[in-house]
């Protein structure tokens, strides 16, 4: 999805199906953060428009703007943690693979614990 901020507020509001003032409110509440031109005009990207669609879906289901902000914040946190978890899982697997390739003898008590840890971590969906 394109992250280049190209749409002026009037076009973004039309594409998102909301009033331009609504976009300003969303920005003030920290729900979106459009790019800015050197002159200070707002510019929205495809990513911003996708986020606006999510905001609309949440608000239409009865969630207030503070709830929407919190949900978006939590989704960002979950995404970051999932990435970190995948990286850690990969590192653990690599360590065990290297230990196996080098025929390093992990203590019998450590090897099953490491494998159990790796298997307990859910895969990213």
Burial call 41-64: b when 16+ CB within 10 Å, e when fewer: ebbbbeebbebbeebeebbeeeee
How far is it, in rounded angstroms, from Cα 36 to Cα 44?
Answer: 9
pLDDT at 5: 87
pLDDT at 105: 60
DSSP H helices, the chain, are: 9-16, 20-28, 46-60, 65-101, 110-120
Cβ atoms of 32 and 26 closer than 8 Å: yes
Tens of pLDDT, residues 39-94: 999 999 999 999 999 999 999 999 999 999 999 999 999 999 999 999 998 898 88
Radius of gyration of the chain measured on its C-alpha atoms = 22
Tens of pLDDT, residues 32-41: 999 999 999 9
Domains assigned to the chain: 9-63 (1.10.1660.10), 75-120 (no CATH)
Q: Say how many CA atoms lie within 13 Å of 21 toward its Cβ.
A: 0
């Amino acid at each position: 999805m394109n992250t280049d901020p190209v749409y002026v507020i009037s076009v973004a509001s039309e594409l998102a199906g909301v009033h331009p003032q609504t976009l300003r409110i969303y920005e003030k509440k920290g729900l979106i953060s459009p790019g800015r031109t050197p002159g200070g005009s707002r510019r929205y990207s495809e990513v911003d428009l996708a986020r606006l669609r999510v905001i609309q879906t949440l608000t239409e289901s009865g969630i207030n703007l503070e709830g929407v902000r919190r949900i978006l914040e939590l989704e960002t946190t979950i995404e970051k943690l999932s990435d970190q978890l995948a990286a850690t899982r990969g590192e653990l697997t690599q360590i065990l693979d290297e230990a196996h390739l080098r025929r390093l003898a992990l203590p019998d008590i450590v090897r099953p614990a490491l494998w159990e840890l790796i298997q307990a971590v859910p895969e990213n969906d």
